[in-house]
Amino acid sequence: MEDKSYKSFAIIALLILLLVLSYFVLKPFLMAVLFGIFLAFIFTPLYKRIHKRIKSKNLATSIVCVILAILILVPLWFLTPLLITQSINIFLSAQQMDFVTPLKEILPSVFSSEQFSAEIASTISSFISRVANNATNIISDLILNFPTLALQFIVAIFVFFFVLRDGDRLILYLQSILPFPKEVEKKLFKSSNDITFSILYGQVLLGIVQGLIAGIAFFAFGIKNALFLTILAAIAGIFPIIGTAIIWVPVALFLLISGDTFAMIGVIFFGVLSSLLENFVKPIFVSKRTKVHSAIILVGMVGGLFLFGFLGVILGPLILAYLLILLDLFRDKRLPGFIIEDSSKK
């Protein structure tokens, strides 16, 4: 009996040791591995459509990999110089722009105090300069760290290829090692799949689409540095509650101050359209899928951003959601879900 206990303890200790060592081995490329897995989940529908026509799994997966590489590398190659130029332009404009005089004309009673006006102008200028400066630094870091990023990208593509091609076998393998009853295991995988679908499609991809819609107005009405503003709107659109309004509202106010009423109306129209899009399009993505409370997504995105970098915007809410799935599966209650809601039960 003691011999069996010793062997079990030794096996568990060895397993923990190997897991820790594996973590340190994968740590330099962990984000690339996770990024490849997320991309495989997103592109699985496209892969299945291609695989129906092309019976070879390797060929179908290779075609999707080529499409992915084109979608990532071509925009980076052509847009990076423009983004650097436009971010520098915004930074320089913020240093020279007079924010106080137009605001005094619109709200003379509020900006009657010279000290208050100077503080507001300094705050606005500092905020715009910091955003532009941070964006420039991020783009510059991408260029300076190109060899490392290229290696990370290769790892992500390899992971993407094998997860996309062998996703079904991977799921079966994970099911075989999980220490859960079959019923709990089935619910866990279904809920995890629905949660991932809801966040990646309903929140991330839809948020990018919202940003692109706001960007249409920036380009159509000749807003300076439109590409840079569109990228910011797409990033802001990913975050729930915040949304694209944090970008297009200041642009509309700037146009109002500048006296360009026609462009202001156009930006407001497309901005409101992008903000309302979620109410009409999101149900298409997440219909009959599990919905996560917006507060959980927002907290997860912000926390993930600080902990893991930009990929944490996706990883953070997924980690919290998976934890809540496990808690929800094991709670011995018949009350309906509050934080995570299964829309199929409505």
Q: Per residue in 237-250, pLDDT tens?
A: 887 767 788 888 88
Q: How far apart are CA 320 and CA 12, in angstroms?
A: 27
Q: Which pLDDT belongs to residue 63?
A: 92
Q: Is the pLDDT of residue 338 over 60?
A: no
At residue 334, φ and ψ (nearest 5 deg) are -105, 5
| Rounded mean pLDDT, 278-282 | 65
- The Cα–Cα gap between 259 and 265 comes to 11
CB 332 within 8 A of CB 285: no
Residue of 307, 289, 295 whose CA lies nearest to 239: 295
Domain map (residue ranges) of the chain: 29-177, 195-346
Tens digits of residue pLDDT in 205-232: 888 888 899 999 999 888 888 888 888 8
Cβ proximity of 317 and 239 under 8 Å: no
Question: What pLDDT score was predicted for residue 323?
Answer: 81
What pTM was computed for the model?
A: 0.68
Q: What is the helix (H) or strand (E) element at residue 234, kind and residue range?
A: helix 226-238
Q: Point out which residues pair with 290 in neighbouring strands.
A: 342
Q: Which residue has the tokens 């709107």?
A: 233
**In this model, does residue 330 exceed pLDDT 80?**
no
CB-CB contact of 291 with 181 (8 Å): no
DSSP for 121-145?
Answer: HHHHHHHHHHHHHHHHHHHHHHHHT
Please give the average per-residue pLDDT across 8-26, as a whole number: 83
- Average pLDDT of 252-271? 84
Tell whether the model's pLDDT for residue 288 goes beyond 70: no
